Amino acid sequence: MSILIYAESADGKFKKTAFELASYAKKIAGETGTTVTALTINGPEASALGAYGVDKVLNVKSDKLTAFNAKAYADAIKQAAQKESAKIILFSSTTDSLYIAPLVAVALEAGYASNVVALPESLSPFRVKRNAFSNKAFSFTEISTDVKVLAIGKNSFGLVESNGTAASEEFTPSLNDNDFYVKVESSEKVTGKVTIADAEVVVSGGRGLKGPENWNLIEDLAAALGAATACSKPVSDLGWRPHSEHVGQTGKPVAANLYIAVGISGAIQHIAGINSSKVKVVINADADAPFFKVADYGVVGDAFEIVPKLTEKLKLLRLKTHNFIINCAP
């Protein structure tokens, strides 16, 4: 018996969520006396997963699976779960995994819990804590089926190194034409930037920036923090920024360690999509903006004055830290 995780990768590297899943699975495995198996699909060198608790990696190499296909990926993961007699299958809360996880649960007649934010409250009965009501509350869900499928919220557990090693073996699932009724004709990927999905810090702008010509304020602040850039729905709808940067309930969900909102009033749909972020900072000229009600830190004032000053201070701080490290080096 094993705990199975689906380890996502992109551009030849594992996503941070893969290591977080491995860390989460290792903790449960230690309590249940089981092992951790990871499944990769056309992924990179799998040895890196061993450092976070994975005991074995099943590598799927298939030209048919070069483009993401939820049904085909789910079928491959189902077969891997059956091969390993896995009773717990873990996914991250990425866009792709949230497509796959319910399909795997149905195929295995398993109970499914999404938005899990902590280790199980108990293993018998199996009980997990989840975000609920657009991240405004927590719920506790008990799963009574023999096989359990969980989707773990981003940044909810963290990375825990275990200094282990992972054995690797090839795995060839049996796929048929029914798995490929839906085909990807083309895709567009953002390159050369910190992606919203993997970012620990996100700087987001709204209509308060008054136009796309002022977006350098967001980009400069993000560069100083090593952050991803994002925007509100109206900004995306107006064509100021690409849809790939739209965050919120109708865009991409964000669970960053730090989320900075500049010139965003805080519509309920936007807040619902970023509410899982640990620290929320709001900069807005309107003291009555709804966003201030959920902010951890708020600054009332003109973004065109505040953001450049904040960016400059961060650059100076980074420079001082860099010089300190150099001076302290042996």
Residue 284 in marked binding region: yes
Residue 207 in marked binding region: yes
Residue written as tokens 């960016």?
Answer: 311
* 43 lies in the same domain as 150: yes
The pLDDT of residue 253 is 84
* 159 lies in the same domain as 22: yes
* 233 lies in the same domain as 176: no
Instruction: Convert the pLDDT of each residue in 230-288 to its tens digit.
Output: 999 999 999 999 888 999 888 888 888 999 999 999 998 899 889 888 899 999 999 99
Residue 241 in marked binding region: no
229: its two tokens: 């850039």
**Chosen domain end from 146, 180, 214:** 180
Residue 12 in marked binding region: no
* 205 lies in the same domain as 166: no
* 213 lies in the same domain as 319: yes
pTM over 0.85: no
Number of domains in the chain: 2
* 27 lies in the same domain as 161: yes
The pLDDT of residue 263 is 95
Residue 251 in marked binding region: no
**Chosen domain end from 149, 180, 211:** 180
Specify the CATH number for the domain of residue 289: 3.40.50.1220
The pLDDT of residue 248 is 87
Residue 269 in marked binding region: yes
With respect to residue 185, please indicate whether it lies within any of the assigned structural domains.
Answer: no
d(CA 79, CA 103): 12
* 214 lies in the same domain as 138: no
CA distance to 220, 238, 245, 293, 305, per residue, from 284 (Å)? 18, 20, 20, 12, 11
Residues of the chain with pLDDT under 70: 1, 188-193, 320-330
Q: Which residues of 205-227 are buried (b: 16+ CB within 10 A; e: fewer)?
A: bbebbeeeebbebbebbbbbbeb
The pLDDT of residue 288 is 94
* 104 lies in the same domain as 227: no
CA distance to 53, 226, 255, 266, per residue, from 247 (Å)? 32, 18, 11, 12
Residue 326 in marked binding region: no
Residue 274 in marked binding region: no
* 173 lies in the same domain as 205: no
Specify the CATH number for the domain of residue 75: 3.40.50.620
Residue 79: give the domain boundaries.
2-180
The pLDDT of residue 325 is 45
With respect to residue 80, please indicate whether it lies within any of the assigned structural domains.
Answer: yes
d(CA 24, CA 53): 9
Residue 265 in marked binding region: yes
The pLDDT of residue 324 is 43
With respect to residue 191, please indicate whether it lies within any of the assigned structural domains.
Answer: no
* 205 lies in the same domain as 176: no
* 172 lies in the same domain as 292: no
* 137 lies in the same domain as 272: no
